[in-house]
């Protein structure tokens, strides 16, 4: 029902677009972005960079307030929005693949993905699997063959908890390589990608799984060799030297998207306004610069398309989490 | 020589009027934030990030402001430790042990001034360490695998016996309680929740700031409430003497070896990713105690060396923590994690290439650290008199302010009321434990270090497929084990000898004088 009215409204609005300038449909009084983690993390980055670019490009009058509401890996903020701020029009919340992962694994107790409205993405960070430059594993196939033969010899480290996104990327690749016993693969969780890479350099680990942006500095300094980037096709510019997993015969795409959701009962006018502002911002040069400087790759999905994408990735992650016994 | 040329260029960047003013403002704000219980360096920096962006500062200027706040907060943390027995931030915890007794003995001014100088020494030499040793130290940090980290944290707990002079069993209990609290939350190695009871606020574990503010600040308020009737609240406040506000040259010379030892230890702890300033001040204090006072005669009762050691240690660690952050992109402490995020937001990629790609940022920052250090020393010594006025505020006014700051501080970090109730819970726990004479410091250490210790043990075990020998198979691990065992066993034997001596002394009576 809601979707129907939304569609009708959107149609009406597009039809009356020439007049829309005089009758502003919606503008937030006090735009606010919740970063569901403490200052300094990826969600905080998402809110603050978007707030800055939106202010500078005039997409928002004044400035957008960024509030850090940490706890429960984003679960505290999710529960707060669902339970207490469900009908607010001025509020958006930063989210990423980690949000979808936790929703899929039931780590936000009592909450599901359809309790909020998914706005859109602002880019993605593609997953990589890498090794030390002097490693005996020359290609993704070498690593996967060795893993299939004896998983006890290989420790793979990453910056997320067990069952988290960095871990899942390895599992998805291994599954694609036909490895049956996913639980035998040794994943070592670290507090961040940087810590995992330093343990790779220290010789404690044999392979590293993470996001391209966090590994790039180490690639340039010659401390990390990328075996595969989990993108649908080769990336642009300096990233084009990295082979994709797909071209090596493993059909895996691991995009750590960054984006936003909004309260479940946000009005359609407000929802459409936010979607269109995000869309405009995404196309701006200022945002392209942010993406380039932070290793964010292109991933532009908005509105219903994005909601379907999140639903799809939630169900994929749920399946693989079940396979490794993380979800019963 | 190349290094000096680059450092010179760095000073050229840092010595603009704008940057000097920013450094001054940062130092002042940082000192204030550090002094307020709850608001530590990490939150201080986080709070000022929006300001740096709103002012439209460029990368170097923003970093100068924020690192000045960082260093300032490390200086400021000691103030409330000494004056109120409430650590302003977690690394300043150890400063309470001897700083507060000094203040009670009427030497508050001296303690503040001495700790200011110790902070300066620690931070100043750590910055030199950063200049010369950064590339080298990265190599040392790479010697630490999960096994070595585990032994390092074991060492910290093993030397705990040296800290708590009175009752070893009670401090062991307190440490165990702390480790138990650290277990709450999602276990990162398996993704399984532990002791969360389905409460989403507990999934990330308990923030140690909440525990610290509750255990130290609020329990202090509760004790005050309890005693109000009998004491009328006035006994200790009005009559507290401040003493001289500059340390004598003699005292400084007396503490010089302490400061040198602590600076080295603190700097090394800072360099190790994840260890940070708390471990630095802790190790500095416990080693200093083993070295200068193995028989527990003066430490914990207001020994100036017990004030100098942790302050030199934690400020040296804050300099050391910048090494892995700049050179590896791996934060060595909570605050550097926030600074790392700032760098990323400013489009500067920390890591192995930072020194090549952004030399102006690195050397400008280092020069700013030197300048900030001198500013902080200049700010802190004359302001000792001002700070000590806090002691003259009657307790019945001071305590409500403490409670208010505690609530505002915690709410500003977490933005949720659940954490506030948890803090009150910790306050009540702290009150009960004080009644039972259980020391509070080991609890905090358990919360701070327990998780890292466990996680590294399990990483090591997973990597070695369950072979325990992995914990002994490097010279570094064996060295650390040796230190840990000596640190654990020595106080036990020495303690016996001390008791014997004391008995003898009693028997000999007045003759021993």
Q: What angle do CA B68, B70, B72 make, to 5 degrees?
A: 65
Q: What angle do CA B232, B236, B303 make, to 5 degrees?
A: 155
Of B186, B201, B330, the CB nearest to A161: B186
Give the pLDDT band (50/70/90) at residue B231: very low
Q: Is A328 on the interface with B (CB under 8 A)?
A: no
Can you name the residues that pair with A255 across neighbouring β-strands? A126
> Which range has the worst mean pLDDT, B53-57, B133-137, B495-499?
B495-499
CA distance B120 to B107: 20
- Does B94 map to a domain? yes
pLDDT of residue B38: 60
> Which range has the worst mean pLDDT, A24-38, A89-103, B150-164, B442-456?
B150-164
Range of the domain at B372: 2-501
B266, B91 in Cβ contact below 8 A? no
| Best residue in A34, A38, A157 for a mutation probing chain B (most B CBs within 10 Å) | A38
B452 three-class SS: helix
CA distance B225 to B233: 9
- Picking from B373, B421, B474, B375, the residue whose alpha carbon sits closest to that of residue B128 is B373
Of A75, A221, A293, the CB nearest to B353: A221
Task: Work out the average pLDDT over B281-309.
Answer: 82
Domains of chain A (ranges plus CATH)? 2-125+255-323 (3.40.190.150), 126-248 (3.40.190.10)
pLDDT, tens digit, for every residue of A178-207? 998 888 999 999 877 778 888 898 889 999
In eight-state DSSP terms, residue B453 is H
- Does B509 map to a domain? no
ipTM above threshold 0.90: no
Nearest CA in chain B to A46: B345
- Picking from B390, B90, B380, the residue whose alpha carbon sits closest to that of residue B240 is B390
- Does B511 map to a domain? no
- Does B436 map to a domain? yes
> Which range has the worst mean pLDDT, A236-240, B398-402, B416-420?
B398-402
In eight-state DSSP terms, residue A265 is T
Q: Which residues contact B39 (CB under 8 A, 6 or more apart)?
A: B33, B47, B73, B88, B89, B405, B409, B412
**Chain B residues touching residue A215 (CB < 8 angstroms):** none
Task: Work out the average pLDDT over A276-297.
Answer: 89
- Picking from A87, A5, A105, the residue whose alpha carbon sits closest to that of residue A264 is A87
pLDDT of residue B353: 65
How many other C-beta atoms are found inside a 10 Å radius of the C-beta of residue B351? 26
For residues B178 and B296, which has the higher predicted lDDT (pLDDT)? Answer: B178
B344, A45 in Cβ contact below 8 A? yes
Highest mean pLDDT among A170-179, A184-193, B169-178: A170-179
Of A38, A202, A217, the CB nearest to B142: A202
Q: How many residues does chain A have?
A: 328
CA distance A269 to B480: 63
Q: Is a pLDDT exceeding 70 seen at residue B496? A: no
C-alpha dist (Å) from residue B463 to A163, A175, A185, B145, B403: 17, 22, 11, 10, 46
pLDDT of residue A247: 93
CA distance B492 to B497: 9
CA-based nearest distance B363→chain A, Å: 19
Task: Work out the average pLDDT over B313-322.
Answer: 86
Q: Is a pLDDT exceeding 80 seen at residue A21? A: no
pLDDT of residue B432: 94
- Does B202 map to a domain? yes
Q: Is a pLDDT exceeding 70 seen at residue B163? A: no
- Does B86 map to a domain? yes
Can you name the residues that pair with A225 across neighbouring β-strands? A131
pLDDT of residue B513: 35
> Which range has the worst mean pLDDT, B3-12, B31-40, B107-116, B284-293?
B31-40
Q: Is a pLDDT exceeding 80 seen at residue B490? A: no
A79: left (phi over 0), alpha (psi -120 to 50) or beta: alpha
Highest mean pLDDT among A75-89, B9-23, B334-348, B376-390: A75-89
Q: Is a pLDDT exceeding 80 seen at residue B27? A: yes
Percent of chain A with pLDDT over 70: 91
Q: Which residues contact B88 (CB under 8 A, 6 or more apart)?
A: B34, B35, B36, B37, B39, B40, B73, B76, B77, B78, B79, B80, B81
For residues A90 and A26, which has the higher predicted lDDT (pLDDT)? Answer: A90
For residues A19 and B219, which has the higher predicted lDDT (pLDDT)? Answer: B219
pLDDT of residue A5: 44
A184 three-class SS: helix
CB contact under 8 A, B189 and A69: no
- Does B510 map to a domain? no
CA distance A193 to A195: 5
Q: How many domains does chain B have?
A: 1
For residues B330 and B375, which has the higher predicted lDDT (pLDDT)? Answer: B375
pLDDT, tens digit, for every residue of B460-489? 999 998 888 888 888 889 988 987 887 777
**Chain B residues touching residue A80 (CB < 8 angstroms):** 416
**Chain B residues touching residue A107 (CB < 8 angstroms):** 186, 203
Specify the DSSP element, H or E, that contains B428.
helix B417-435
Q: Is a pLDDT exceeding 60 seen at residue A22? A: no
E strands present in chain A: 32-35, 65-68, 91-96, 116-131, 155-158, 186-189, 207-211, 225-229, 255-263
């Amino acid at each position: 029902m809601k979707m129907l009215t939304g569609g009708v409204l959107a149609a009406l609005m597009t039809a009356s677009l020439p007049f829309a300038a005089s009758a502003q449909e919606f503008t937030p009084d006090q735009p606010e972005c919740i970063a569901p983690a403490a200052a300094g993390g990826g969600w905080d980055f998402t809110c603050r960079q978007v707030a800055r670019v939106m202010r500078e490009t005039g997409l928002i009058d004044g400035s957008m307030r960024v509030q850090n509401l940490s706890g429960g890996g984003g679960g505290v903020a999710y529960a707060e929005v669902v339970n207490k701020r469900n009908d607010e029009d001025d509020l958006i919340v930063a989210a990423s693949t980690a949000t979808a992962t936790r929703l899929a694994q039931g780590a936000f107790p009592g909450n599901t993905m359809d309790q909020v409205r998914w706005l859109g993405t602002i880019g993605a960070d593609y997953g990589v699997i890498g090794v030390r430059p002097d490693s005996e594993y020359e290609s993704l196939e070498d690593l996967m063959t060795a893993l299939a033969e004896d998983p006890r010899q290989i420790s793979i480290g990453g910056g997320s908890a067990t069952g988290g996104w960095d871990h899942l990327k390895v599992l998805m690749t291994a599954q694609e390589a036909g490895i049956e016993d996913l639980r035998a693969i040794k994943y070592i969780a670290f507090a961040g990608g940087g810590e995992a890479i330093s343990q790779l350099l220290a010789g404690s680990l044999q392979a590293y799984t993470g996001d391209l942006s966090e590994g790039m500095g180490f690639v340039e300094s010659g401390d990390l060799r990328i075996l595969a980037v989990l993108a649908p096709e080769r990336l642009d510019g300096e990233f084009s030297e990295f082979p994709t997993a797909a071209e090596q015969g493993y059909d895996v795409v691991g995009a750590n998207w960054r984006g936003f959701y909004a309260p479940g009962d946000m009005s359609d006018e407000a929802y459409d306004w936010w979607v269109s502002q995000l869309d405009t911002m995404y196309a701006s040069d200022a945002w392209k610069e942010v993406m380039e400087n932070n290793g964010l790759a292109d991933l532009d999905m908005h509105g219903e398309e994005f909601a379907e994408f999140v639903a799809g990735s939630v169900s994929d992650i749920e399946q693989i989490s079940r396979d490794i016994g993380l979800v019963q | 020589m190349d290094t000096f040329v680059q450092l010179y260029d760095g000073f050229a960047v840092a010595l603009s009027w704008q940057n000097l003013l920013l450094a001054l403002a940062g130092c002042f704000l940082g000192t204030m934030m550090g002094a307020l219980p709850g608001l530590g360096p990490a939150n201080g920096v986080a709070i000022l990030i929006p300001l740096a962006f709103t002012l439209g500062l460029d990368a170097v200027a923003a970093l100068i402001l924020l690192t000045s706040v960082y260093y300032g907060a490390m200086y400021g943390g000691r103030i409330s430790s000494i004056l109120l027995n409430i650590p302003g931030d977690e690394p300043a915890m150890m400063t309470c042990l001897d700083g507060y007794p000094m203040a009670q003995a009427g030497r508050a001014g001296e303690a503040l001034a001495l700790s200011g100088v110790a902070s300066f020494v620690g931070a100043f030499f750590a910055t030199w360490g950063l200049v010369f040793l950064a590339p080298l130290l990265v190599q040392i940090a790479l010697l630490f695998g999960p096994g070595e980290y585990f032994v390092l944290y074991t060492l910290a707990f093993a030397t705990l016996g040296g800290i708590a002079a009175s009752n070893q069993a009670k401090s062991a209990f307190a440490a165990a309680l702390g480790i138990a609290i650290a277990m709450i939350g999602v276990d990162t190695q398996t993704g399984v929740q532990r002791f969360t009871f389905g409460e989403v606020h507990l999934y990330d574990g308990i923030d140690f700031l909440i525990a610290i503010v509750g255990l130290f600040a609020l329990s202090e308020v509760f004790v005050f409430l309890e005693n109000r009737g009998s004491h009328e609240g006035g006994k200790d406040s009005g009559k507290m003497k401040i003493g001289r506000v500059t340390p004598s040259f003699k005292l400084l010379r007396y503490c010089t070896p302490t400061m040198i030892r602590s600076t080295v230890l603190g700097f090394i702890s800072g360099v190790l990713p994840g260890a940070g300033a708390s471990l630095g001040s802790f190790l500095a204090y416990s080693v200093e105690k083993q070295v200068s006072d193995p028989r527990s005669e003066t430490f914990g009762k207001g020994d100036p060396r017990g004030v100098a050691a942790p302050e030199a240690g934690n400020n040296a660690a804050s300099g050391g923590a910048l090494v892995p952050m700049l050179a590896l992109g791996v934060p060595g402490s909570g605050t550097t994690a926030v600074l790392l995020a700032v760098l990323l937001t400013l489009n500067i990629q920390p890591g192995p290439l930072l020194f090549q790609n952004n030399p102006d940022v690195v050397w400008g920052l280092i020069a700013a650290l030197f300048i900030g250090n001198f500013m902080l020393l200049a700010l802190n010594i004359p302001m000792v008199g001002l700070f000590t006025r806090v002691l003259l505020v009657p307790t019945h006014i001071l305590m409500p302010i403490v409670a208010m700051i505690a609530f505002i501080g915690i709410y500003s970090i977490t933005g949720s009321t659940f954490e506030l109730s948890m803090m009150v819970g910790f306050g009540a726990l702290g009150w009960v434990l004080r009644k039972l004479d259980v020391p509070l410091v080991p609890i905090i250490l358990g919360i701070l270090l327990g998780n890292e210790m466990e996680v590294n043990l399990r990483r090591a075990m997973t990597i070695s497929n369950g072979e325990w020998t992995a914990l002994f198979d490097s010279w570094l691990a064996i060295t650390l084990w040796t230190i840990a065992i000596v640190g654990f066993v020595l106080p036990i034997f020495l303690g016996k000898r001390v008791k014997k001596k004391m008995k003898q002394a009693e028997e000999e009576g007045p003759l021993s004088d």
